[in-house]
Structure formats: structure tokens, C-alpha cells
Amino acid sequence: MTKDASTPVPARDEHYSYAAYADPRMAETFETARFGGPIGRLLAETQEQVIAGFLSPLTGTTILDVGTGTGRAAIALARRGATVTGIDASGEMLAVARRRALESGASVTFVQGDAHGLNVADGSFDAVVCLRVLMHTPDWRRSLAELCRAARHRVVLDYPARSSAAALQSIARRIAHALGARVEAYRVFGHTEIREALEANGFRILDTHKQFVLPIAFHKQLGSAKVTGRIEAGLDRAGLRGMFGSPVTLVAHRVSGVSP
């Protein structure tokens, strides 16, 4: 069974995420804005290591990176031995991803498509990865169901936690967006709703990783990975990361549905 990538997307014409990531300037500056500097690199490198651990061994596995953007995760996984396909709704982001993959020597197949209707067969990839997407997508439950449908064994995704400082920024951005500002008015999630949505699609959470207690913006202001490491280690020892850590990256495995 396949789903056509042209399947109508909820509120696509009006939703900020499509317009924002179709902007060539956004595509060209995305990596530097999100993952530049010591804290951006720390965020990216830590998540890369976590995902590699979640999906190990990677050599020979087939992975679909949904919402690949400029290809950061797809390239990292390909360089670790996986056969990777990256899909994104933005042709502008994919153009940057193809260039970055070529420059890095990584072999990745990039195709244009939408998380709400992936044009792939059921269980056609060993694992599906989806980073920084559910927080922005118009219909996150429909998108999550598509991730699960495409995955034979495992799904890896991330989200900003409702119990974290990110919730305050989310509220502020939603208010600003309602007032007409051009901002990414992302949503936050509770662990229970993510767990229940995964279970409804035949998946069970195996493991989670929470990265920061304090806001990423605060750490970027500090500008020191060493200082951030010390602060966050202290907060972790106090038990605060388990309660308030974000972003949350998790891996879930299939317990029903498509046969392995």
C-alpha cells in the first residue's frame, strides 16, 4: 500500500511552516541559525549520537528521514553506514541538502514530499526518523501515523516538552503569530499524548533522551559548551532533567501491524 504525496494537506496554503521553509534565505541560513556556534553544535552532535545509539547497528539499514530539511540527520546517518532517503516538502531546503551531501561525500537520496502523505509502501524502511517536524506540522497525529506506517521496525522522533521552558516560548510565539507576526508558532507536547499516539499506531517507546533543562536560547547567550555542560550536569544530578528536560528524543519499536 502507498500513500500519494499529493494527498491534500490540512491548511497547507495558510500554515506558516510551508511558507517559512520555502524561503530560499531560510534554506541557506537554516544550519547556521539552528546549529551554528558551540551550543548549536552541541545540540546537533548530541542528538546525532543519541539517534545512532537508538538505531545501532546502522550499517546496511534503510532509513527514511521525514522533514529532512537541509539533510543534517540524513547525512550523519549515511556516513555511519545506513542507506538513507530524505524527504521534505520544501524544494529550497532539499537543494541545500543535496549540496551539503555532495560536499560531505555522503550518499543520500533526496525527494520532495509531505509528512501528511508519504508516497512509500507500508513498512518499506527499517526505521523512520523525524526531527523538528511534529512541532510545526499542521496535523501532527496524521504525520505521526505516516511515520509509523512507513517504518518496519523503529521510529525516532523529537519534540519540545510541555513541562519545559520551551512551553513559555511556545505561548509567546503563538500570541505573536495571532497578532500577525511572522514567527514559527510551534507546539509543545506531553509525553502521554505522544506515547498514546504511538501505541495507537502499533508502536511502543523503548527509550528517551532529554537534553537541556534551561532554555537553549540561554545557553546560546552563554556561548560555552563547557559551561553549559557543567550547569546541565548539576541540574541533572538534582533530578531536574528527568522532569523538565527538552528537547525530548525518543525511539519506539513496532509491536503490531507490519510484519518484520
- Strands, sheet with 246-254, edge to edge from the N-terminal-most edge strand: 108-112, 83-88, 62-66, 125-130, 151-159, 246-254, 203-212
Rg (alpha carbons) of the chain, rounded to whole number: 18
CA-to-CA distance for 250 and 47, rounded, in angstroms? Answer: 10
Q: Are 88 and 97 in contact (CB under 8 A)?
A: yes
pTM for the whole structure? 0.89
| Domains located in the chain, CATH noted | 16-158+189-211+248-254 (3.40.50.150)
Q: Going residue by residue through the chain, which has 260 residues, state the pLDDT in tens, using 9 for 90 and above.
A: 444 334 455 455 567 778 778 888 888 888 888 888 999 999 899 999 999 999 999 999 999 999 999 999 999 999 999 999 999 999 999 999 999 999 999 999 999 999 999 999 999 999 999 999 999 999 999 999 999 999 999 999 999 999 988 877 767 777 776 767 666 668 899 999 999 999 999 999 999 999 999 988 899 999 999 999 999 999 999 999 999 999 999 999 999 776 54
Cell 520532495, residue?
A: 112
Contacts of 199 (CB under 8 A, 6+ apart): none
* 176 sits in which H/E element: helix 166-178
Q: Are 21 and 194 in contact (CB under 8 A)?
A: no
